[in-house]
Structure 1
């Protein structure tokens, strides 16, 4: 865990890490993080992860696919940053990593000592909370050095606003 002894003297502002993908629940996690930052201060970190392709391609095709995946991630992040901007002047950082999703989440948390909370949202379905929430839960309560907040997928934005 990062040293917190001088955080308050240097106006430490915690970071809320949100995983940005194309799932419906992503917007719930972004909304929660933005509302908490608006109320308590800090930064929302939007993390997109480009997962490795399981297929072997010629180098040129692989490079094109990687560039397309990066462009798609940047588009998703721009959409979520615009959503955050609707809540007011909230600082946003954007990060794109390549690798396995849970491993890259862990690496981002490890590399950025100011990340204080990982915000996820559960899927709004009877099939379970979603693959990312399930993967992180499978690692156990002590998998990360930060708390994990799981926002219910069925909660409305107005109910989120009331909670934050």
Structure 2
């Protein structure tokens, strides 16, 4: 695959739709010469009055996010043949995402997976649908992939 400065961003979480979005991003990046970037965010702990508990909670959150990123990196690399860019940030997921979209002009596409549940498509897709919170200055195209889409269906699209 040719090297490109364009990045396709996927937000990592433990949901199956996040993996579906990653597969779509990886297939699309492989076809277009873009690079996959995976963002994981962990929220700061609320144990400020117990410093030892806060530090332990933060270490555990960072370790879980790193393990998730590594697992998703392996999945992306199996499709693209190259290691994706991995980003780990502290903060509320939508705020971290908005900040990253503002600071990295190489991100050319945000790919989100939509949950198939009675509670809605997920917080980021819901925020996007309401037109709030993801973009403040620089707009980035967004692809929303149905979370229950099969890999064969994605292969047919990309």
State the TM-score, normalizing by the size of structure 1.
Answer: 0.86
Other-structure match for 1:159: 153
* Count, aligned residues: 154
Once the two structures are superposed, the pairs formed by residues 90-105 of structure 1 within 5 Å of their partners are 90-105=82-97
- Distance in 2, matches of 1:103 and 1:140, equals 11
Structure 1: stretches of 5+ with no match in the other structure: 1-10
> Given the alignment of the two structures, is residue 16 of structure 1 paired with residue 8 of structure 2, yes or no?
yes
- Give the equivalent residue in structure 2 for 1:3: none
Cα distance in 1 for residues equivalent to 2:80 and 2:134: 34
Counterparts of 1:15-164 in structure 2, within 5 Å, are: 15-140=7-132, 143=135, 145-164=139-158
User: Which 4+ residue blocks in structure 1 deviate beyond 4 angstroms?
Assistant: none
Please give the per-residue CA displacement for 1:35-92, whole angstroms capped at 9, x wherever unaligned: 0111001211110011233454411211111111011001001111111122141341
Q: Are the counterparts in 2 of residues 38 and 90 from structure 1 also a CA contact under 8 Å?
A: no
The structure in which a higher percent of residues are helix is 2
Mapped to 2, the partners of 1:37 and 1:14 lie a distance apart of 9
Structure 2 gaps, min length 5: none
